[in-house]
Amino acid sequence: MRFRKLKKQSKINSTNNQDTPKIKYAKITDKIKAFITDMFMIYAPILYIITYVVMGGKDEFQESQIAPLIGVSLYALIYAVLLSKSGQTPGKKAYTIKVVDEIKQTNISFVRALCRFIIFLLGATVLVGLIVPFYRKDNKGLHDILCKTVEIEIE
């Protein structure tokens, strides 16, 4: 093929690539802020209700082994429902972050959101999941890599 045809074809390909929108990955600092916001807005009320309404006080809560598990389970269910419905939790909404499918850019299913949360807990427990985003250009955590999701900034 002649050079002119190659050059012309590369210009056509470059204009076609410009039509597809670029993904703007969420910043790590915004992800951390959103996580802290979610902990205060969702998880803290759950723990308060379990501790003082259900258990009757902090001493009973501290002695119980099942109460913290129930709290985390409720938080996981609420988190997964919110991600599957709108792709955002209150914290992610505050910092204009959305969790979407890596390829289709659509909301993820409830089961996938729940698996993402469980993998996040396991990865955070061994600290590997918390370190991974600092070594990647797209800031994806271990839970995002395994579930094929991405956290993007929205306008």
For 75-90, write each residue's pLDDT tens digit: 999 999 999 999 999 9
CA distances from 23 to 1, 13, 35, 92, 150 (A): 34, 19, 21, 17, 10
Q: What is the pLDDT of residues 51-75, one digit of tens each?
A: 999 998 999 999 999 999 999 999 9
Instruction: Give yes or no for residue 18 having a pLDDT over 60.
Output: no
Q: Identity (one letter) of the amino acid at 7? A: K
CA distances from 132 to 55, 115, 118, 137, 140 (A): 38, 18, 16, 10, 7
Q: What percent of the chain has pLDDT over 90?
A: 77
Sign (positive or negative) of CA dihedral 15, 16, 17, 18: positive
Q: Is 92 exposed, middle or buried (0-12, 13-18, 19+ CB in 10 A)?
A: buried
Helix orientation angle between 110-125 and 66-86, rounded to the nearest 10 degrees: 130
pLDDT band at 3 (very low <50, low <70, confident <90, very high): low
